[in-house]
Every structure is written in C-alpha cells, then in structure tokens.
Chains A and B, each alone.
Chain A
Amino acid sequence: KQEVTQIPAALSVPEGENLVLNCSFTDSAIYNLQWFRQDPGKGLTSLLLIQSSQREQTSGRLNASLDKSSGRSTLYIAASQPGDSATYLCAARTDKLIFGTGTRLQVFP
C-alpha cells in the first residue's frame, strides 16, 4: 500500500528565503508525481507534474525533482513571498492518486 509522507509538517520563514519541501513515497512504481497548493478552505491548484521518466520540472520560482528509485521528490521554492503561504501537497500516482500529509508554509514579511 502506497504511503506518502511530507517533511516538514509546518514551516515559517521570512520573505526572500529559498525553501525545500520534501516528499517521500513507499512504492516506487509510480506513473507520475504531482505537487499541489491548497489555500485555506479552498480546492487544489496543480503546481507541477513530473512523469516517472523525468527528473525535474520547473515553473517560475518553483522547481520539483523526482528520484523514483529512492522514493523521493522535492519542491524548491526560490525567493519566497508572503503570497506563497499555503499548504503544499505532493501526490504519487499508481492506479490511484495518494496524497502526502502536507506541509503548511507561512512566509512572513
């Protein structure tokens, strides 16, 4: 059974810092891994999708890497801003999409 864990559970940083969010999964036979953002009380916004054959994906200040063999993915946020404050979720897809435990990020001015 796939289990997805995210570290840290919560993070509070000053504006401008570069951040690394970690995601680990137990079953490496995934089709892809997806990173989402969730604002309080809202739905999910897809940030980045990495196919199993890919090593990383980039979008603006976000970079996600995937090491399938070790069961790990990282989300790198460059030059963090208060608007980045949200919960970040990773999700690993096999025949289902299983979510990680989430990282609650707060970026203060």
Chain B
Amino acid sequence: GAVVSQHPSWVICKSGTSVKIECRSLDFQATTMFWYRQFPKQSLMLMATSNEGSKATYEQGVEKDKFLINHASLTLSTLTVTSAHPEDSSFYICSATLSDYGYTFGSGTRLTVV
C-alpha cells in the first residue's frame, strides 16, 4: 500500500511556457502532500506543503507565484511551474505520508527548460 504516482517522468519545454506536474496517491487519501526539488548531486529541498482544500505552505525562498500548487482532492496535488526558465531545470519529486508509515515518494519528474 501507500503508492504515490507522479506524472510525467520527464518533460522538456521552452522558456516562458508553463509545465504542470501531477502527484496522485493511488491507494490512500492524502490530506497533505509535499513537493521537493533536487539539483544534480544535491539532496532534496522541500519547496512546499500542499494541503487539500486550502493554500499551500511555501518554504522560505520559494516563489509561490512561480510554483503554483493545487490540491483539489484527497488524491491529487499538482505543481505548475509558470513562465519556466532554464534555471528551473531540476528534478521535482512529490511525496505523501500515511500516518506513521513514513513518507512515500513519487518517481520524480525531470524538467528541462530550453
């Protein structure tokens, strides 16, 4: 149990366009999901906490107008990178937690902005 599906696994987009990444909890309801970002050879940095039915909580230094998070249902959270630039190229990964079973992560999305 506790499977998180993330889509797409990779995407290439042009500068100035927007990209949407989906994160779904397949076999459980997740009132809270988390979005992380990982640069090459670095660890995962928490970007924001996504709360079902309310606004996301962003970490310090993360632009909420650039990284739009929507958590409209108990099984789906989306991250939209708006007006993407090459410096937004990174590995984005979502996660959810099922009580005390720890965090389960999606397989990640590699975004390349050209």
- Taking Cβ atoms with an 8 Å cutoff, the residues of A that contact B are 31-32, 34, 36, 41-44, 46, 49, 51, 89, 91, 93, 96-102, 104
Contacts and interface: CB of A to CB of B under 8 A. Distances in A.
Give the interface residue-count category, chain B: 20 to 34
Contact of A43 (B34, B49, B97, B108): B108
B47 to A, nearest CB: 11
Contacts, number: 52
Interface string B26-59: 0000000010100001111110010000000000
A31 B100 CA distance: 9
Contact of B103 (A46, A100, A102): A46
Interface of B: 6, 34, 36, 41-46, 49, 91, 93, 95, 97, 100-108, 110
